[in-house]
Amino acid sequence: MTNILESYIKKIKEIISDPREGLSKELFYFASSITAMANVDLLIKNNKKQTLLTWRDDEYYGPGWHIPGGIIRFKETFSSRIHKVAESELGISVTHTKDPITIKELFAKDRDVRGHFISFLYECSPESEPDISRKYNGGEPQDGQWSWHDKSPVNLIKPQASYESFINGHNND
C-alpha cells in the first residue's frame, strides 16, 4: 500500500506546477476533504463603523453576504494573503492589524469537502473606496458585489455567524 501511495503522490507532485500559486479545483477539493484549511478573513470597517461584506453564491455555501477572505497558500504569509484578497475581491489596498483579532474554527457539519476551516480574522482599514463597478446597488445581489453594512445581515452565510459580534461592533468573543 505504501508503494502505491508514494507513486500517486509522486504523480500529483509532477502535475502541480507551484503550490504557492494555488491548487487546481480538483486537488483543492481533495485536500480540503482530508485536512482543515487555514484562511484569513478581512473585517473591513469604514469611518462610520460599517462593515464591508461581499455577496457569494457558490455550490458549497449558497447565496449570502460574507466577510471577504481566502485560503492561505503554501509558504504564503498572512499579510500577503490579506492584500491579495483585498485586491482580488474588492480592487483595493488595505492596512491591517499585526495579529488576528480572533481565531475561529468553522465547520460545515453536513459535508467533508470544504468542511473545516481555521479562520484568522484581521481588522483592516481600506486605503480607498472599493471598485465601484462591483458595488451592490439594490435588487438581487450578484456574486462578487460588495456593500457596506451597519449590522450583520439576515442572509450572512452560516459559517460566518460566529463573526456577527464583530460586524455589529460588539467584539466580545
Q: Do the domain assignments include residue 1?
A: no
In this prediction, residue 157 carries a pLDDT of 92
Burial (CB < 10 A; 0-12, 13-18, 19+), residue 86, is buried
Residue 128 DSSP symbol: S
Collect all residues with Cβ–Cβ distance below 8 Å to 117 and sequence separation of at least 6: 36, 37, 38, 39, 105, 106, 107, 159
In this prediction, residue 1 carries a pLDDT of 65
Q: Do the domain assignments include residue 142?
A: yes
Q: Which three cell numbers stand for residue 59?
A: 455550490
Please measure the distance between the N-terminal and C-terminal CA atoms of the chain and give it in whole angstroms.
Answer: 46
- pLDDT tens per residue across span 122-173: 999 999 999 999 999 999 999 999 999 999 999 999 889 999 999 998 765 5
Q: Do the domain assignments include residue 106?
A: yes
Q: Do the domain assignments include residue 11?
A: no
Q: Which of 13-27, 35-49, 53-67, 71-85 has the lowest mean pLDDT?
A: 13-27
- pLDDT tens per residue across span 60-74: 888 999 999 999 999
- Residue 92 CA to residue 3 CA, distance in Å, equals 48
The answer to whether 67 and 165 are in contact (CB under 8 A) is no
Q: What is the CATH number of the domain that holds 33?
A: 3.90.79.10
16-20, long-range: CB within 8 Å, 24+ apart, which pairs? 19/73, 19/74, 20/73, 20/74, 20/75, 20/76
Which helix H or strand E contains 53, and what residues bound it?
strand 51-58
Number of domains in the chain: 1
Question: Band of the pLDDT at 32, cuts 50, 70, 90?
Answer: confident
Q: Do the domain assignments include residue 13?
A: no
Q: Do the domain assignments include residue 10?
A: no
Q: Do the domain assignments include residue 131?
A: yes
Could you tell me what percent of the chain has a pLDDT over 90?
67
Identify the domain containing residue 45 by its residue range: 23-167
Q: Do the domain assignments include residue 74?
A: yes
Model-level pTM? 0.89
